[in-house]
Amino acid sequence: MIEVTGAAKAFAVRRRTGRLRRSRTVVHAVRDLGFTVPRGAFVGLLGPNGAGKSTTIKMLTGILAPSAGTVRVCGLDPSRQRTALARRIGVVFGQRTTLWWDLPLRDSLDLARRLYRVEGRAHRARLAELTDLLELAPFLDTPVRQLSLGQRMRGDLAAALLHAPELLILDEPTIGLDVVSRATVRGFLERLNTERGTTVLLTTHDLGDIERLCPRVLIIDHGRLAFDGDLDRLRAEVGGERLLVVELARPGPPLRLPGVAVDRVEGPRQWLRLPEGESAAAVIARLAAGHEVRDIALRETGIDEVVARLYRGDRAYRAQ
Ligand SMILES: Nc1ncnc2c1ncn2[C@@H]1O[C@H](COP(=O)(O)OP(=O)(O)OP(=O)(O)O)[C@@H](O)[C@H]1O
């Protein structure tokens, strides 16, 4: 469905270097990027700010042409065959709406139908289905500007899906949404993928989206693919360590145990980092032998921390 090979995108930027002087520098937003997404997949695209996610999405949707390499989506060259591609994919940018601000949602959706040339009967059936799945009925006749962010996002999803695209590309679809709206949008995307077989690629900073929806994650860092795999593998590779949170009877200096690093000390509490392969039971036994311990908890590294470590470059990863 998506094939990206050796793709790069560079921007020439003019910077002020003095009162009158300008210099030209080149920003490499994406370099030597390669990945494929098969039909029916649900893939999350992650990366720190400025990593190149939006640039990648713009190349996939044909808004930008790559400076080098090839990008193919649904067998088409996005920047050269943008109109043909638009009939086969749906795109939603969480920060922007494609709906008409002053029109009721229903009219905006009707305009989308004309844009995509969806025939009347097919449109009605599809609209009824999307209205049901996205619970649009209570606000179909409300002008878009009066909709809440969550309602507008559901409207945007409907507009992007009226022409039944094979591939849905989303840029931060849950940004700014409250817990309930986020759950509705996630549930909808999951059904779209499992029941309809629509391929989905989404970028997000929300790791809850990833954990809930994406069996596979691509991580971009400095314009390059830094990881391609599932979250368990990411956790195993980057966040293999576990934390032992120990509460001692009284505050004291950092504990000294062979091979165990003390991460943090707060009064009688200490956070110990267990090296990979080290048995927690053995460390606890050693600890209990020499100290008065009130409480102990073992914590796996959360996925947020794992990703933060990867972004900080604690360890270097290459996509496989
Ligand atoms: N039109 C442009 N002109 C110049 N530089 C650009 C342009 N678009 C993006 N860049 C630069 O390319 C790099 C990648 O930007 P991009 O927007 O793709 O990152 P991102 O991963 O989407 O970030 P964010 O999470 O903040 O949205 C950044 O350094 C950005 O400043």
Q: How much is the average pLDDT of 292-303?
A: 83
Looking at the structure, tell me whether residues 265 and 190 fall in a common domain: no
For residue 264, what are the domain limits? 241-300
Distance from C-alpha of 35 to C-alpha of 318, rounded to nearest angstrom? 13
Distance from C-alpha of 53 to C-alpha of 237, rounded to nearest angstrom? 22
pLDDT tens-digit map of 102-117: 899 999 998 888 888 8
Atom 6 of ligand 1 has which residue's CA nearest to it? 11
DSSP 98-133: -S-TTSBHHHHHHHHHHHTT--HHHHHHHHHHHHHH
**Between 238 and 78, whose confidence is greater?**
78
Residue 305 lies in a domain: no
Q: Which pLDDT belongs to residue 270?
A: 93
Helix/strand/coil for 263: strand
- Ligand 1, closest atom to CA 58? 18
Q: Which pLDDT belongs to residue 240?
A: 61
Structure-block tokens of residue 277: 């392969």
The mean pLDDT of the chain is 88
Structure-block tokens of residue 187: 């549930």
Looking at the structure, tell me whether residues 195 and 247 fall in a common domain: no
Nearest to 275 by CA among 257, 302, 255: 257
Q: Which pLDDT belongs to residue 32?
A: 92
Question: Do the bridges between strand 269-274 and strand 261-266 make them parallel or antiparallel, or are there none, so unpaired?
Answer: antiparallel
Q: What percent of the chain has pLDDT over 90?
A: 52
Distance from C-alpha of 305 to C-alpha of 260, rounded to nearest angstrom? 19
| Beta bridge pairs of residue 216 | 43
**Contact between residue 112 and residue 167 where contact means Cβ atoms under 8 Å apart:** no
Q: Helices 179-196 and 149-161 meet at what angle, rounded to 10? A: 20
Looking at the structure, tell me whether residues 83 and 169 fall in a common domain: yes
- For residue 46, the CA-to-ligand 1 centroid distance in Å is 14
Q: How much is the average pLDDT of 281-299?
A: 89
Residue 309 lies in a domain: no
Q: What is the ipTM of this complex?
A: 0.94
Q: Which of 63-67, 151-155, 169-173, 308-312 has the lowest mean pLDDT?
A: 308-312
Atom 10 of ligand 1 has which residue's CA nearest to it? 29
164 vs 78, 118, 159, 295, CA distance in Å?
18, 9, 10, 56
Q: Which pLDDT belongs to residue 104?
A: 93
What does R_g of the chain's alpha carbons equal in angstroms? 24
- Predicted confidence (pLDDT) at residue 133 exceeds the cutoff of 50: yes
Nearest to 154 by CA among 193, 123, 183: 183
- Ligand 1, closest atom to CA 55? 18
Looking at the structure, tell me whether residues 164 and 289 fall in a common domain: no
Q: Which pLDDT belongs to residue 317?
A: 43
Distance from C-alpha of 63 to C-alpha of 308, rounded to nearest angstrom? 30
Query: Which residue type sits at 314?
Result: D
Looking at the structure, tell me whether residues 64 and 209 fall in a common domain: yes
Which of the listed residues 54, 56, 93 should we mutate to test ligand 1's pocket, taking the one with most ligand atoms within 8 A of CB? Answer: 54
Residue 319 lies in a domain: no
Looking at the structure, tell me whether residues 281 and 173 fall in a common domain: no
pLDDT tens-digit map of 40-87: 999 999 888 888 999 999 999 999 999 999 999 999 999 999 999 999
Structure-block tokens of residue 57: 């999405």
Looking at the structure, tell me whether residues 166 and 262 fall in a common domain: no
Beta-carbon contacts of 4 under 8 Å, excluding residues fewer than 6 positions away, are 33, 34, 35, 36, 56, 59, 60, 69, 70, 71, 72
pTM over 0.90: no
Distance from C-alpha of 133 to C-alpha of 191, rounded to nearest angstrom? 9
Q: Which pLDDT belongs to residue 318?
A: 41
Q: Which pLDDT belongs to residue 320?
A: 38
Atom 18 of ligand 1 has which residue's CA nearest to it? 52
- Ligand 1, closest atom to CA 9? 12
Q: Which pLDDT belongs to residue 273?
A: 86
Q: Which pLDDT belongs to residue 77?
A: 96
Looking at the structure, tell me whether residues 275 and 133 fall in a common domain: no
Question: Phi-psi region for residue 252, left (φ > 0), alpha (ψ -120 to 50) or beta?
Answer: beta
- Predicted confidence (pLDDT) at residue 319 exceeds the cutoff of 70: no
Looking at the structure, tell me whether residues 164 and 123 fall in a common domain: yes
- For residue 276, the CA-to-ligand 1 centroid distance in Å is 36
Looking at the structure, tell me whether residues 207 and 249 fall in a common domain: no
Q: Which pLDDT belongs to residue 97?
A: 86
The length of the chain in residues reads: 320
Number of domains in the chain: 2
- Give the pocket of ligand 1 (CB within 6 Å): 11, 13, 27, 29, 47, 49-55
Atom 11 of ligand 1 has which residue's CA nearest to it? 29
Which of the listed residues 28, 53, 60, 206 should we mutate to test ligand 1's pocket, taking the one with most ligand atoms within 8 A of CB? Answer: 53
- For residue 135, the CA-to-ligand 1 centroid distance in Å is 34
Nearest to 81 by CA among 92, 94, 93, 72: 72
Looking at the structure, tell me whether residues 115 and 20 fall in a common domain: yes
Q: How much is the average pLDDT of 160-186?
A: 90
Question: Do the bridges between strand 216-221 and strand 42-46 make them parallel or antiparallel, or are there none, so unpaired?
Answer: parallel
- For residue 27, the CA-to-ligand 1 centroid distance in Å is 9
Distance from C-alpha of 14 to C-alpha of 296, rounded to nearest angstrom? 56
